[in-house]
Every structure is written in C-alpha cells, then in structure tokens.
Amino acid sequence: MVNSDNLYCNSFKKGKVFEEQSTRGRSTSTFLEAVEINSIESDHTRLTYRSPPSNTQVTPECLSAPAPGVSDATAVKKRKRDESDEPEEKDKKRFKPRRFLDFLKNEEKLWIYEDEKGNISIIDLSVKNETFKKVKELIDLYLSPCRLNDHTHFLKTIFFPINQTMSSEIVHFIKRFKIDKRVDLDRQFAFAVIELREGRLIPIGPFTPETVGQTTQHPDRHHSEHKCIQDIDNYFNNDKFRRNIKAVHIFTKLNPCSGIKGNCDPCMIKLANLSEEMYKNNIDMNITFQDIYGITGPIVKTLMKLSDKDPLNKNIVKFKNILYKQYPKPKFECVLGDKEQNLIKNYILQEIKKLIPKTDIKLNIEFNKNKMKSDELKSFRKEQTDNINIQLTKLNVSEENIKDICSLFNSKWCNLVNEEYEKFICEKLSDHINSFSVRFVYENIKLFFPHFKLERVNLSLKTNFQISVEDN
C-alpha cells in the first residue's frame, strides 16, 4: 500500500496511480483521486496524470480509507454520520481536496514540473514578494471552492503534525552518534543515517551550510542537505552496496528549502528526486525536519505593509484576525530595547526644541529593559510621564508646554507599543504563511511522487533529549 496521513493523500493498492512523477537563503502529500487521463500544458513541460490500474477499484470508501487503528466498522459508521449531514453543513466541516486539485489543474497554478528524464523541478521561488503572491493565490484557490468560513480548521489541517515515533528515532540517532557534541543545535544542521539490511547503521554528517546560495566556490555543496545527498549518492551508486541498503534517514533542523539562489535545484526537490530513486530500488526514505523556515524566510516586513482594505488580501486578513484573538493585546508582552528607547528620547528632545527653541533642556527618561505585559507598559508609561512633568516643572517650563510635551511622550509611547504588537502579530502570521508555503510545495511534489514523505519532529535537545508534545 502507498500510505499517507497527510492532507490529501489516500491509500491505493500498489500500482502506478501516477507516473511518479536570510540566515539561510531558504526557502507540501496530495489527494490521489481516481482521475481520468488528463494532461496539463505548462510553461515548462507537459504534466500527465494517469488513472489507477484497471484492477484497482476506487470507491468513496477507498477515497477516505480508515486511519491506522480504526476498524472498518467504525469508519463506516463515521461515513454514515457524515452522509446524514446537510450538504451545506458538510461543506463547512470538510475541505474538498479534489476541487482544490481541479483548480490547480484548470488554473495551471502548479509550482512543480517534470522534465523529460522523469525528474521534477520547481519554478523560481527565491524572491520573497513574488513567492508571497503565489502562496496567497493558492490559499485563495484552496479556500474559495470549499466555501469554508472556518479558517481555524484550515490552520489545524495545513500544518505539519509532530510525528512522535520519528521524533524518538531521531533523538536516538543524535545520542548514539553524539551529533549534539559536533554542531550547534540552535543553528541549521543536517545529518543522515543509512540503515543496512543486517541492522548496521552508517552515519553521514552532521553538516552545516557553507553558503547562503550557489556560488562559484561551492556550486554543489552549499546547504547542509546537499552535503548529505552527495554522500548518500556515493553509497547508492555502488551496485553491491545499494542492494544491502534497507532505509535512509535524513534529518534537517529547518525544513528543506524550496527556493535558492543560483542554478541548482533547491533541497526539497533534490530530496524528492532522491526519494524517487530510493523508491525504485525498494529502499525506504524518511525525511524529517524540526522547525519551519518557509521558502524565503520571515516575511514580516511584507506583511506589515499589507493593506487590510485590499479585497485580494481577505483570507490573509482573516488569519490575522484569528491571531488577534489568539494573542489579545492585554496579554501582549514586549521589550523596549535600546533602539526603541533612543527613538522616544530623541523624538521628545526634538519636539522640546520646536516648542522652546532657545533652551537646551535635557531630560532623564528611564526605561525598563525587562519584558513587560500590557498593564505593566501602561503603568511604566504613567511613571515616566510623571517623571517628565516633574523635571520640566523644575526647569520652569510653562504648564502649557509641559502638557504638550507629556502628551507627545504618551502618544509616541502608545504608537511604539502598538507597532511592537503589530510586528508581533505579523511575526506569528509569517510563521503561518511559511507553513502554508512549505505545505503547498509538498502537496505539489506529491502529485508527481505520491510516496515522498516529509515529517516534522519535535526534539528537546537541551533537556536530556526528552520529547515534548506540541499541540497542532
């Protein structure tokens, strides 16, 4: 069976359902329905989808196969409950991956294309703004055919769930091969383990990235995953040794990149093509990552400039509103660092010179550099306002000017806190968008290579390798 617990991919009998097809400058499983033989013309090549083998019976039950550990009877009962719902209610409760896939075909929005040799490539996703437009486009395509108003459900479905079993496995490899002693676990690194059929394990790496993108000095060995792939290839290309390989395990701290500078394929595509070769040779390949980086890294600045009034941004704005509810301002915490403090001080002194040109007033404005909650920020602002009032009174500044200066201070302080809050929300939204982008790339790849597996793991590497459970 070709199994997947991802968003779109379902189980089929084994057969060719499809012809298988910045710190880091880095930059999602797909619903395999029985489709008629259908071709799509793209700018790069011709994409061909093949229907399942004639001996494969595809039924509604097949398209929603029971999850592992769920009996057929339980699954049937669940289907009957679902079927009893009103059609409109079902639209609200379920995504319609088939319709989403149809949209991808009809609108030619695929990011992945296949070359004449059967390898897959990806369109250029290295530019932040252009990539954000493509991600936003796919979010709209995904949501609009479903008539789905519950964006929270989308969030729960689109994110990569933590695979606890693989988490334990990666921790075991890290402990056994002392990976934590050889690299900085807080920074990007990757390693691989080749598992032979007799049980012997061969470690590869760990590696760290050498460059942000492709350069003349490092045309092939820039990202840490590339280094793993090169060493794996060396073993794989040995015919005698290849027959003895049972599985290949690859771990990378950040998700494999989907956009990269230079003429080289990004890590996600290289791993997908390698996975296809492993599949053809009956070798299991497990690719895991820990943290989401996305395609081009944080897009906070782009989101800060995003217009909430633009109807083209309606779905992004809805996700943003979800975050406002999840992280309300009264619970917001921030630190006003040196940059923010100097900004306020300089602003107030400049305004004083405008109000009182012939004086050289110097104010002592103190700041707390600890993280403060919303109510603490308000309290501290009041303290500093009173402090400024006292200092200006001693300097015989008029009450009118004191009132104006204190008002300016309050206004600047509130604006700065609001900006920090908005930045915080956009950072969270950036994390979401990055997760969407990785997932969408993964879904595109699964159209061609349905067995390609990318799993997220959660490793507490600093606390004696204890696994922590994360809600998704």
| Residue 445 CB partners (closer than 8 Å, separation 6+) | 28, 30, 112, 120, 268, 269, 272, 452
Cis peptide before 206 (omega within 30 of 0): yes
pLDDT digits (tens, 9 = 90+) for 330-381: 888 888 888 888 888 888 888 888 888 877 777 887 777 788 888 888 888 8
Return mean pLDDT, the chain. 75
How does 251-265 read in b/e, with b if 16+ C-beta sit within 10 Å? bbbbbbbbbbbbebb
DSSP designation for 69: T
- Residue scoring higher pLDDT (57 or 278): 278
3-class DSSP state for residue 427? helix
DSSP designation for 161: P
What share of the chain has pLDDT > 90, as a percent?
Answer: 30
* pLDDT surpasses 90 at 152: no
- Residue scoring higher pLDDT (195 or 368): 195
| Residue owning tokens 């969030």 | 155
* pLDDT surpasses 50 at 462: no
Provide the CA 153 distance to its chain's centre, in angstroms: 17
DSSP designation for 52: P
* pLDDT surpasses 80 at 295: yes
- Residue 89: its pLDDT value, please? 47
Query: Is residue 265 very low, low, confident or very high in pLDDT (cuts 50, 70, 90)?
Result: confident
**Tokens encoding 415:** 């604006």
* pLDDT surpasses 60 at 186: yes
Please, are residues 454 and 161 in contact by the beta-carbon 8 Å criterion?
no
Query: Is residue 456 very low, low, confident or very high in pLDDT (cuts 50, 70, 90)?
Result: very high
Measured between alpha carbons, how far is residue 3 from residues 6, 64, 65, 276, 471 in Å?
A: 9, 12, 10, 15, 23
**What percent of the residues of the chain are helix, what percent strand, and what percent coil, each to the nearest 5?**
45, 10, 40
pLDDT digits (tens, 9 = 90+) for 226-240: 889 989 999 998 888
Provide the CA 109 distance to its chain's centre, in angstroms: 19
Mean pLDDT of 448-466: 74
**Tokens encoding 212:** 């942000």
Q: Which amino acid is at 94?
A: R
